Amino acid sequence: MLTITLVAFESLAVAIVMPEVESDLGGLALYGWVFSGFFLASLLGIVVAGQMADRRGLAFPFTGGLVLFGLGLAVGGAAWSMPVLVVGRVAQGLGAGAIPATVYAAIGRGYPSAARPRMFATTSTAWVIPGLIGPTVAALVAHAWSWRVVFLGLLPIVAIALVMTVPALRALGPPVDDDGRTLARDPAADRRGLRLVLVLVVAVGAVLAATTDSPLIIGAPVDLVGIGVAIWAFRGLVPEGTLRLAPGVPVTVAVRGLLTWGFFGADAYISLAVIDGRGSSTFVAGAALSVGCVTWTAGSWIQAHLIDRLGPRGLDRIGFTAIAGSVALMIGVALRLPVGLAVLAWAVSCLGMGLAYSPLSSTVLAAARAGEEGVASAALQLSDTLGIAVGTGIGGSIVALGDRKGWAVSSSTALVFASALVVVLVGLAAAGRLPERVPDQA
């Protein structure tokens, strides 16, 4: 819970101070890379942590992840240019990827199926305090001292979380069979998975880089090749049938990626739209993110009570619909509607995320075989994080294009929200193929 609180505060704090960071360091064209670089690196961390969780237990990947996360905070806090900040965020991402994979594996390995929805709701509660005070504290710290303190001030919490959590994770040990023997893994399969995720990260990074700042004659071929290579690598890392929305686990993994792509592709640019686009204050943007954290948690608890009745399909349809309406409202806010509506829009959007997000986790973990919780959670988190990386990256490409063309920031962010809305609507259609019930509860 402390580790999730740490990640939550960092996520919200960076989102709220980024307009000020950009004003200090410059480099608006790299604005999106602060987010997409973090999540692309997380892809690698997720796969490695998933393999280590099933081979050596949970303590080893968790420790390595927190150490890298702390290193990234230190580099980010000391950054003297936007490229250096991106490097720090990449290091953070490598470490942060290990945290959700470890958490999901721990829940899958340590809790019965019936208790998992409540456990996911409990972990969502860890976002409440950061959500209520995180954006405000980050804004106050940045104004009173420096945005750098927002990064560096979290380092002591990293150390505390490491000391508190590792002994408990070590006690779980690696997965065992019914006779108490450690389950064997296929080293060749692990190496293949690592190669594929490296190819995926490089390919998606190349596509985003070419889209961000390359002449059309260079960018178009790189995009075509990169997209093809990324699809090939992704297919090898997720359950067979994911791209064609095959029933069961494959479509669940695919919908999770569409969900995070659409939501976070808009979420990362709320502050930019409100502060730089509409000239409002940091505190209005912070209010939108704060209220959203509370409603996300509320939605997560609501789904824990309704999942037996509505199932993943029903809950995700409701969630996607709420997000679609909210992102559409943000297009209007970016252009001319009262900026205060951003708070309402993001409160409803995050409520939708609370309803839609956790049922997908419960579905995948319920279908995982004993001892394979790490691999199952890694596949889900891979799709999850790739969606965030692509969504924030495409948004960054649109902002960079607007910067080159001299567009107003309000116009650029409105286009960012429009692109996110398209993805959310695709996800809404795909949600109709989700299971009606969580497998173990059928």
| Average confidence (pLDDT) over 1-8 | 79
Give first-to-last CA distance, the chain, whole Å.
30
Between these two residues, 267 and 194, which has the higher pLDDT value?
267
pLDDT for the residue 442: 39
Rounded distance, CA 185 to CA 193, Å?
A: 12
Q: Is pLDDT at 213 greater than 80 in this prediction? A: no
Structure confidence at residue 441 (pLDDT): 43
Q: Classify residue 183 by its DSSP letter.
A: P
Residue 74: in which H helix or E strand, if any? helix 59-78
User: Per the structure block, which two tokens stand in for 389?
Assistant: 């990386």
Contact (CB, 8 A) for 315 and 321 = no
Higher pLDDT, 15 or 196: 196
The pTM score is 0.76
| Domain range list for the chain | 2-171+185-441
Q: pLDDT for 403-440, tens place per residue?
A: 888 888 899 999 999 999 999 999 999 999 888 887 66
Mean pLDDT of 213-227: 72
330-387, pLDDT tens digit by residue? Answer: 999 999 899 989 999 999 999 999 999 888 888 887 766 665 555 666 678 788 878 8
Region 221-238: what's the mean pLDDT?
Answer: 84
442: helix, coil or strand? coil
**C-alpha separations of 243 from 234, 236, 238, 254, 365 in Å:** 9, 11, 9, 7, 20
pLDDT, the chain, mean: 82
- Please tell me the predicted confidence (pLDDT) of residue 234: 85
Q: Can you give the pLDDT at residue 345?
A: 93
The string of pLDDT tens digits covering residues 110-148 is 777 778 777 877 776 676 677 667 667 777 787 778 888
Residue 376 has a pLDDT of: 66
Which residues on adjacent β-strands are paired with residue 182?
Answer: 176
Asked if 13 and 138 count as a contact pair (C-beta separation under 8 A), the reply is yes
Do the Cβ atoms of 262 and 420 come closer than 8 Å?
A: yes
The CA-atom distances, in angstroms, between 183 and each of 49, 51, 371, 435 are 16, 12, 7, 29
Query: Could you report the per-residue pLDDT of 244-278, keeping only the tens digit for each?
Result: 888 877 888 899 999 999 999 998 899 889 888 88
Nearest alpha-carbon partner for 77 in 163, 142, 165, 143: 142
* Residue whose token pair is 């230190």: 74
Q: What was the pLDDT predicted at 343? A: 92
More confident residue, 100 or 203: 203
Q: Rounded to whole angstroms, how far apart are CA atoms 415 and 156?
A: 39
| Fold (CATH) for 2-171+185-441 | Growth Hormone; Chain: A; (1.20.1250)
pLDDT digits (tens, 9 = 90+) for 73-83: 999 888 888 88
Burial pattern 330-346, b for ≥16 Cβ within 10 A else e, equals bbebbbeeebeebbebb
* CA 53 – CA 275 distance, rounded (Å): 42
- The answer to whether 78 and 224 have CB atoms below 8 angstroms apart is no
Would you call 176 helix, strand, or coil by DSSP? strand
